[in-house]
């Protein structure tokens, strides 16, 4: 039954076995669940279906309890964000006993891909001018304006999410999408008409699988710390710039930011982990 993970074919969840005009497509397989692309109501409305398959090693009672709880909590947190104006995918449908959650399909690339492409292009430009291309991105000058604007949008989005009492639990640049602006909805300021458009778009936070409702400074600070660590390991050249701008934009978007940022300093000092072990 177990085959090589690269060629492993997973059985489809029951919901995707009904005939449809667009065949379902497996997008990713994480530890917790699988993400499929399908359509909702009309063939022209794409959707994302998150499926949490049963875990056969868990006691069936425990498995059913956990799956149900997690699907419902993810749907509730998404709905709450949506209601309060935090940019997240819209929830279309839920079946917690079958273990799936159907959401709006967000077009565009993850922020991670966009930033890496942008950094690569910048490196190529520097090399073309005869420099090493390993320079730290300082965020000064015209050339870095796009990245600074993007980081500001990230900080603002996280700030708004915290403001409504949700912590994400797994903030990374892979869990943020860069959704192309809808026509006529581009922001009046901060939108660079001259640019190549690589870093343009609305930040949409995705994957609320580990999210919870919390207003504690500690939880919020850990959320920021996880994002900071994830950013440093995926885009080390822009690490310094990231911290400064994120904090700035976060502060503007969220009134209680100073307390959280103070706590963040403590979290940084000890790391996410406790230092004691017996």
Catalytic residues: 170
Return d(Cα 92, Cα 101) in angstroms, integer.
Answer: 8
Task: List the one residue out of 203, 205, 216 whose CA is nearest residue 168.
Answer: 205
When the beta carbons of 66 and 136 are compared against another protein, the nearer one is 66
Residues 6+ apart with CB under 8 A from 67: 52, 54, 96, 99
Secondary structure element (H or E) that encloses residue 265, with its range:
helix 257-270
Planar angle of CA 119, 124, 110, nearest 5 degrees: 30
Contact 227, 189 (CB under 8 A): no
CB of 31 to another protein, least distance (A): 4
Closest approach of Cβ 264 to another protein, in Å? Answer: 17
Residue 9 touches another protein, criterion: CB under 8 A: no
Given 20, 25, 30, 125, the residue binding another protein (CB under 8 A) = 30
Residues 227-246 that bind another protein (CB under 8 A): none
187-216: contacts with another protein (CB under 8 A): 210
Residue 269 found at the interface with another protein (CB under 8 A)? no
Terminal C-alpha separation, the chain: 40
**Contact status: 218 vs another protein (CB under 8 A):** no
Q: Of 17, 22, 23, 58, which lies in the binding site for another protein, with binding defined by CB under 8 A? A: 58
Binding status of residue 126 toward another protein by CB under 8 A = no
Q: Report the residue number, 110 or 133, with the smaller CB distance to another protein.
A: 110
Check: CB of residue 221 under 8 Å from CB of residue 263: yes
- Total number of residues that touch another protein (CB under 8 A): 28
Is residue 71 within 8 Å of residue 52, measured between CB atoms?
Answer: yes
Q: Which residues bind another protein (CB under 8 A)?
A: 1-6, 8, 30-32, 55-59, 61-62, 65-66, 169-170, 210, 273-278
């Amino acid at each position: 039954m177990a085959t090589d993970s690269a060629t492993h074919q997973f059985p489809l969840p029951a919901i995707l076995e009904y005939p449809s005009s667009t065949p379902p497509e497996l997008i990713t397989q994480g530890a917790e669940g699988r993400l499929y692309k399908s359509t909702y109501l009309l063939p022209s409305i794409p959707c994302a279906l998150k499926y949490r398959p049963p875990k056969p090693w868990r006691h069936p009672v425990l498995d059913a309890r956990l799956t149900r709880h997690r699907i419902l909590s993810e749907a509730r947190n998404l709905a709450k964000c949506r209601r309060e104006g935090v940019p997240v995918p819209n929830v279309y449908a839920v079946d917690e006993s079958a273990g799936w959650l159907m959401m709006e399909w967000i077009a565009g690339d993850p922020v991670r891909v966009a930033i890496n492409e942008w950094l690569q292009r910048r490196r190529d430009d520097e090399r073309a001018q005869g420099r090493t291309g390993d320079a730290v991105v300082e965020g000064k000058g015209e050339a870095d304006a796009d990245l600074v604007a993007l980081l500001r949008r990230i900080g603002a989005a996280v700030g708004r999410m915290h403001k409504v009492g949700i912590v994400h639990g797994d903030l990374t640049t892979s869990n943020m999408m860069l959704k192309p602006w809808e026509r006529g909805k581009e922001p009046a300021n901060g939108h660079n008409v001259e640019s190549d458009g690589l870093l343009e778009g609305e930040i949409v936070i995705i994957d609320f699988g580990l999210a919870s409702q919390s207003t504690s400074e500690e939880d919020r600070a850990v959320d920021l710390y996880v994002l900071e660590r994830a950013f440093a390991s995926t885009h080390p050249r822009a690490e310094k710039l990231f911290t400064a701008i994120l904090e700035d934009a976060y502060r503007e978007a969220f009134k209680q930011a100073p307390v959280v940022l103070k706590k963040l300093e403590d979290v940084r000092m000890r790391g996410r982990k406790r230092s004691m072990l017996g």
